[in-house]
């Protein structure tokens, strides 16, 4: 794994590097280099291989670096972090932190990965995570308020992510209840909350954030909805992913602190400002039933309000899926 990371570090500049050069730097044979390159390509790493020139990524990339993320975070954030783990590949950063939480990991643990083999969103939908094309970040936070006191948590984290993105010039973003970040109705980011614990006692919350950074066009074949990414929106060829990770943690931890102190109330105005569904016709898909109506924002608990033919109805997130009617 150490050699594989060294190869990635060398190729991150987007230039050609020969097998001979890589072998000399790494102290291994050209055949060993080829085997590592083959392994990376088998994992889904997009790489050009040209005889006589060597190997390169199609473009330069900024690989995740735990030390760089920690250094870029605000002092208040650094004090709350218990550790930052950056991985080449994992099934899901949320799954990894869930397991660590069950093993007693402290609040403030962070896991990031260059790619996920089984990334997921709400209702176990897949989250497409090609190599170095997203920010896949999960944060473990422990609470004494119990699961019952976490209502609206995904909405709070959605607001936090949008506050973060505004620092990078993304001012046209909005929130689709309960956990999607959209720009012009195209998905830019999503939030997944996993909770472990008791209804009224201590619990562990894993906040997962996925942000599209520089998605390859071929990813469209596996994404069943309109999407966008930060490089397209900002015009940057290479987006500073480590700085993005640090600012995401800054924003999440600040929002979680505010939520712990005063609940959802302090986020309702921002949510209303970001709400992209308010006033639009929606279909609310429930197990075995679909309810149609006009979205009317959220109530003080974070439930979705919909004006239907039979009057106002409210929906908690749970196993609910909402689609805007074109």
- What is the total count of domains within the chain? 3
Exactly one of 30, 78, 294, 323 is catalytic; which is it?
A: 323
Q: Answer yes or no: do 116 and 36 share one domain.
A: no
Q: Answer yes or no: do 249 and 288 share one domain.
A: no
What pLDDT is recorded for position 243? 98
Q: Answer yes or no: do 166 and 311 share one domain.
A: no
- Whether residue 209 contacts residue 138, with contact meaning beta carbons closer than 8 Å, is answered with yes
**CATH number where 230 lies:** 3.30.930.10
What pLDDT is recorded for position 253? 98
pLDDT band at 119 (very low <50, low <70, confident <90, very high): low
- Kindly list the distances between the CA atom of residue 228 and the CA atoms of 82, 184, 246, in Å, as whole numbers in the listed order: 32, 9, 21
Residue 105 has pLDDT above 80, yes or no: yes
Residue 198 has pLDDT above 80, yes or no: no
Q: Answer yes or no: do 23 and 125 share one domain.
A: no
Q: Answer yes or no: do 108 and 249 share one domain.
A: yes
- Whether residue 301 contacts residue 311, with contact meaning beta carbons closer than 8 Å, is answered with no
**CATH number where 37 lies:** 1.10.10.10
Tell me the average pLDDT across 65-86. 98
Percent of the chain scored above 90 by pLDDT? 68
Active site (annotated) includes residue 323 = yes
Active site (annotated) includes residue 122 = yes
Q: Answer yes or no: do 244 and 100 share one domain.
A: yes
What pLDDT is recorded for position 126? 55
What token pair was written down for 2?
């150490």
Q: Answer yes or no: do 265 and 282 share one domain.
A: no
Structural domain including 287 reads 277-324
Distance CA 50, CA 126 (A): 33
Q: 219-253, pLDDT tens digit by residue?
A: 656 676 889 999 999 999 889 999 999 999 999 99
Position 301 in a domain? yes
Exactly one of 56, 96, 98, 122 is catalytic; which is it?
A: 122
What pLDDT is recorded for position 123? 47
Residue 129 has pLDDT above 90, yes or no: no
Q: Answer yes or no: do 134 and 214 share one domain.
A: yes
Q: Answer yes or no: do 39 and 10 share one domain.
A: yes
Residue 4 has pLDDT above 80, yes or no: yes
What pLDDT is recorded for position 210? 95
Position 61 in a domain? no
Largest CA distance in the chain: 73
Q: Answer yes or no: do 13 and 144 share one domain.
A: no
Position 190 in a domain? yes
What token pair was written down for 13?
């500049």
Q: 15-60, pLDDT tens digit by residue?
A: 999 999 999 999 999 899 999 888 888 877 888 899 889 999 888 8
Which residues share a beta bridge with 114? none
Q: What is the mean pLDDT of the chain?
A: 90
| Residue-wise DSSP of 6-22 | HHHHHHTT-S-B-HHHH
Exactly one of 120, 187, 241, 247 is catalytic; which is it?
A: 187
Q: When comparing pLDDT for 255 and 116, which is higher?
A: 255
Q: Answer yes or no: do 11 and 94 share one domain.
A: no
Q: Answer yes or no: do 289 and 267 share one domain.
A: no
């Amino acid at each position: 794994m150490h050699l594989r990371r060294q190869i990635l570090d060398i190729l991150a500049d987007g230039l050609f590097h020969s097998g001979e050069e890589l072998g000399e730097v790494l102290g291994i044979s050209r055949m060993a280099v080829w085997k590592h390159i083959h392994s990376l390509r088998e994992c889904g790493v997009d790489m050009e291989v040209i005889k006589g020139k060597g190997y390169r990524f199609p473009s330069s990339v900024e690989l995740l670096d735990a030390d760089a993320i920690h250094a870029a975070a605000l002092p208040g954030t650094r004090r709350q972090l218990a550790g930052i783990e950056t991985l080449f590949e994992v099934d899901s950063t949320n799954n990894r932190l869930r397991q660590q939480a069950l093993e007693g990991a402290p609040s403030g643990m962070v896991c990031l990965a260059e790619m996920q083999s089984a990334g997921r969103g709400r209702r176990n939908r897949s989250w497409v995570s090609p190599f170095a094309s997203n920010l896949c970040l999960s944060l473990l936070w422990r609470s004494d308020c119990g699961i019952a006191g976490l209502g609206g948590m995904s909405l709070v984290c959605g607001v936090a992510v949008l506050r973060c993105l505004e620092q990078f010039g993304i001012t046209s973003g909005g929130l689709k209840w309960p956990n999607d970040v959209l720009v012009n109705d195209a998905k830019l980011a999503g939030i997944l909350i996993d909770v472990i614990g008791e209804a009224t006692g201590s619990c562990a919350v894993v906040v997962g954030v996925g942000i599209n950074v520089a998605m390859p066009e071929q990813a469209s074949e596996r994404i069943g909805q309109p999407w966008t990414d930060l490089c397209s929106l900002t015009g940057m060829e290479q987006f500073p992913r480590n700085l993005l990770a640090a600012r995401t943690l800054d924003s999440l931890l600040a929002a979680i602190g505010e939520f712990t102190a005063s609940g959802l109330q302090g986020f309702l105005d921002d949510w209303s400002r970001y709400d992209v569904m308010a006033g639009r016709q929606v279909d609310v898909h429930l197990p075995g039933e679909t309810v149609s109506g006009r979205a009317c924002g959220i109530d003080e608990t974070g439930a979705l309000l919909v004006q239907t033919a039979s009057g106002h109805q409210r929906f908690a997130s749970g196993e609910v899926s909402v689609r805007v009617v074109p």
